[in-house]
Amino acid sequence: MNWYLETGKETDVVKSTRIRFLRNIKGFKFKLNPLEQEELENRIRENLYSIGYGLKFLKLKDMDNITKTSLVEKNLVSPNFLAKKGKTGSILINDEENICIMIGGENNLSIQVFSSGLELENTLNLAIEVEEKIGKILGYSIDRKYGYLTSNLNDLGTALKISVMVNLPALSKTGNLHTLINTIRDFNVEICGEYGKVTKNNVNSEETIFQIANKQTIGITEKEILKNLKVITEKIIEQERKARKMLTKESLELEDLIGRSYGILTNCKKISYEEAKELITNIKIGTDLGLVDDLTDLKIQKLYLYTKPANLQKYLGEKHDKVEQEIKRAEIIKQIIK
């Protein structure tokens, strides 16, 4: 089963864990022109069997737009990488999709490993294993003083980004989300939206999904980065669960919200992605609090994934316009729930 459909630790709040290493290969510029990109890709393909992990080499130009967008919706590639490298970039990816390496973005390689829920230590260990194996085969650009060399000075040192994706609907509904986000900013972390856009000032009151990641990469070890982010994430989990308990004090209103959301999802004839996402978040709260009996974590994960426009069409194996998507989305929601 793909990692994004699995149930991990603390999945009532933490959707996923991602470990990313930025690396550049000796003898190559950080930002590659098409000929240099092709040269790097050839070196990687020549060594693909030695790298292992069941990784397959795929060029983005050989994918249709729905497939490429589905990778962004799964958070396997960044929107920025797809926008800039949609015709020249490539990826290495395994069948489980828990390893995905972007080739030829702002740096030569962006080595990513994913897990469901809060799984920091094991995910980091696998990412280090993959990163070290590729390094032995291809050789990285590294400096004794500054560590791994990258296109952005802010990424020097370990060039490691650890991020957790959290879903904070109760903090949003109780009005405490903005305060929490401003507080954790003081602990040198970066707060982004679901697809990586940095959240700077005001938080969109309708948004509940965020990525929390370390800012500092130089002058700090990989284990220290992990430890710091783990402490912050545990505080966020604690605050979200407290907010959910607060909501249960208004049990009639909460049960009404969950019941209405469930009713719309199971009876609608068409529905937009934005509305579906909000209603799924509501029934997820109900599932986590034991107020909805016939839903499971797996069903919730499927609802989140297969209601997204590109993955909806991938699931069906059909291309649909926006109106048709809304009709098909309503059908798929019923199928998954029932």
Q: What is the pTM of this model?
A: 0.92
If you average pLDDT over every residue of the chain, what do you get?
93
16-20, 260-264, 294-298: which has the minimum mean pLDDT?
294-298
- Exposure of 176 by Cβ count < 10 A (0-12 exposed, 13-18 middle, 19+ buried)? middle
Q: Which two tokens stand for residue 58?
A: 């795929």
- Give the model's pLDDT for residue 193: 87
182-196, 230-244, 271-285: which has the minimum mean pLDDT?
182-196
Domain boundaries, the chain: 3-243, 251-337
Q: Which two tokens stand for residue 173?
A: 């509904």
- Give the model's pLDDT for residue 338: 87
Judge contact between 89 and 71, C-beta under 8 A: no
Q: How far apart are CA 300 and CA 305, in angstroms?
A: 9
What digits encode the pLDDT tens for the residues 313-337? Answer: 999 999 999 999 999 999 999 999 9
Q: How far apart are CA 145 and CA 19, in angstroms?
A: 23
The runs of H, that is alpha helices, within 115-209 are 120-138, 169-173, 177-185
Please check the confidence at residue 201 and state whether its pLDDT lies above 70.
no
- Give the model's pLDDT for residue 221: 94
Judge contact between 90 and 59, C-beta under 8 A: yes
> How crowded is residue 88: how many other Cβ atoms within 10 Å of its Cβ?
17
- Give the model's pLDDT for residue 205: 57
What digits encode the pLDDT tens for the residues 123-169? Answer: 999 999 999 999 999 999 999 999 999 999 999 999 999 999 999 99
The runs of H, that is alpha helices, within the chain are 34-46, 48-51, 65-73, 79-85, 120-138, 169-173, 177-185, 222-249, 251-267, 273-288, 297-306, 309-316, 322-337
Q: Which residues pair with 213 in a beta bridge?
A: 163, 190
146-155, 192-201, 243-252, 264-273: which has the minimum mean pLDDT?
192-201
Q: Which two tokens stand for residue 32?
A: 């590659």
- Cβ-defined contacts of 288-296 (< 8 Å, 24+): 288/12, 288/244, 289/244, 289/248, 291/254, 291/255, 291/258, 292/258, 292/262, 294/337, 295/337
**Assigned CATH topology for domain 3-243:** Creatine Kinase; Chain A, domain 2 (3.30.590)
Selection from 232, 238, 202 nearest residue 215 by Cα: 232
Please check the confidence at residue 195 and state whether its pLDDT lies above 90.
no
Q: Which two tokens stand for residue 60?
A: 């983005």
Q: How far apart are CA 163 and CA 177, in angstroms?
A: 18
- As a whole number of angstroms, the longest Cα–Cα distance in the chain is 65
Q: How far apart are CA 94 and CA 37, in angstroms?
A: 21
- For residue 185, name the pLDDT band (cuts at 50, 70, 90): confident
- Give the model's pLDDT for residue 187: 87
- For residue 290, name the pLDDT band (cuts at 50, 70, 90): confident
- For residue 20, name the pLDDT band (cuts at 50, 70, 90): very high
Mean pLDDT of 50-72: 96
Q: Which two tokens stand for residue 318?
A: 């059909």
- For residue 186, name the pLDDT band (cuts at 50, 70, 90): confident
> How crowded is residue 304: how many other Cβ atoms within 10 Å of its Cβ?
21
Task: Name the percent of the chain lying above pLDDT 70.
Answer: 98
